[in-house]
């Protein structure tokens, strides 16, 4: 290989053709760096001072607002004190009234109203029995003067007379006046239906102690019973149950 040609593996270096060329190229680079550092150094202090100024202004404004609030509160207190002074001067000296001694009275609750009882009594009055009703047209003409509501089989009276139903309750109207006996019988029947009783006995007496030995209540009881819707049938009691001095009554079953 010729000597004046470089070897292929050698790095080629570009050398300046003039000795001062290298120094001339490095000089501009150093000057640019110095100028950049100078500019950065000048801008940094400027931005820091601007932030401090803004903070100072904000603190100053906050202090002004607090001063205004304190001044307003003080003004309100002065005005309130002045109003209180004027009020006291206008009224003058006052003295509280002596409170009278009060006796503690225990309140007694009102008695409960028996509403159901009142309704029952009203129902009794609305179903008042009449003495003018004549049951003779409804009674079977026999020695027992039995009664069977229309639409009910006559076998019901036969079974009632034969003791098919057991007597569950009874009422004795002996010694009562007519009005007392009517009200007592109506109340007795109402309670019997309410209790769900089916068969009851009403003792009206044979009239042995009455004037003329006539049974006053016997006919009235049959008349009253025939007017009650809850009475299905009735007949004279058997001899050992009172005979002609009582009647056995069959009532409607309770409504459920």
Query: Model confidence at 172, in pLDDT bands (50, 70, 90)?
Result: very high
pLDDT for residue 247: 92
Which residue is it, tokens 């002996």?
Answer: 174
Q: How far apart are the C-alpha atoms of 153 and 172, rounded to whole Å? A: 29
For residues 154 and 130, what is the distance between their CA atoms, to the nearest angstrom? 26
**Is the CB of residue 232 less than 8 Å from the CB of residue 251?**
yes
pLDDT digits (tens, 9 = 90+) for 9-59: 555 444 444 444 444 444 444 444 455 454 555 555 566 777 888 888 889
pLDDT at 149: 85
Which three-class secondary structure state does DSSP give residue 159? helix
Q: CA-CA distances (angstroms) from residue 176 to 164, 197, 200?
A: 30, 24, 19
> pTM of the entire structure?
0.46
Count the Cβ atoms, other than its own, within 10 Å of residue 47. Answer: 8
d(CA 188, CA 100): 58
Q: What is the pLDDT of residue 65?
A: 92
Only one residue has tokens 């010694």, namely: 175
The CA distances from residue 251 to 78, 120, 140, 177, in Å, are 92, 18, 18, 25
Q: Count CA atoms within 13 Å of residue 108 on its CB side.
A: 2
| Predicted confidence (pLDDT) at residue 139 exceeds the cutoff of 90 | no
CA-based torsion, 161, 165, 166, 171: positive or negative: negative
Tell me what pLDDT residue 2 has.
52
Instruction: State pLDDT tens for residues 67-126.
Output: 999 999 999 999 999 988 888 888 878 788 887 887 777 888 888 877 777 676 555 544
Average pLDDT over residues 147-162: 86
DSSP state of 22: H
């Amino acid at each position: 290989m010729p000597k004046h040609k470089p070897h292929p593996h050698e790095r080629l270096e570009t050398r300046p053709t003039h000795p001062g060329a290298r120094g001339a190229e490095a000089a501009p680079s150093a000057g640019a760096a110095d100028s950049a550092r100078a500019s950065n150094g000048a801008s940094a202090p400027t931005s820091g001072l601007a932030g401090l100024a803004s903070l100072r202004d904000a603190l100053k404004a906050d202090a002004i607002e607090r001063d205004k609030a304190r001044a307003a509160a003080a003004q309100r207190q002065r005005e309130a004190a002045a109003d209180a002074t004027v009020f006291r001067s206008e009224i003058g000296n006052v003295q509280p009234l002596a409170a009278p001694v009060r006796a503690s009275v225990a309140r007694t609750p009102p008695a409960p109203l028996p509403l159901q009882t009142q309704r029952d009594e009203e129902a009794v009055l609305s179903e008042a029995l009449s003495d003018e009703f004549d049951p003779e047209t409804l009674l079977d003409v026999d020695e027992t003067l039995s009664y069977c509501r229309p639409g009910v089989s006559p076998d019901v009276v036969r079974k009632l007379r034969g003791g098919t139903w057991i007597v569950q309750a009874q009422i004795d109207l002996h010694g009562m006046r007519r009005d007392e006996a009517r009200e007592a019988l109506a109340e007795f029947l109402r309670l019997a239906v309410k209790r769900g009783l089916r068969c009851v006995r009403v003792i009206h007496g044979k009239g042995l102690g009455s004037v003329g030995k006539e049974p006053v209540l016997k006919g009235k009881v049959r008349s009253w019973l025939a007017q009650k819707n809850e009475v299905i049938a009735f007949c004279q009691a058997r001899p050992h149950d009172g005979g002609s001095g009582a009647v056995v009554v069959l009532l409607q079953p309770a409504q459920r």
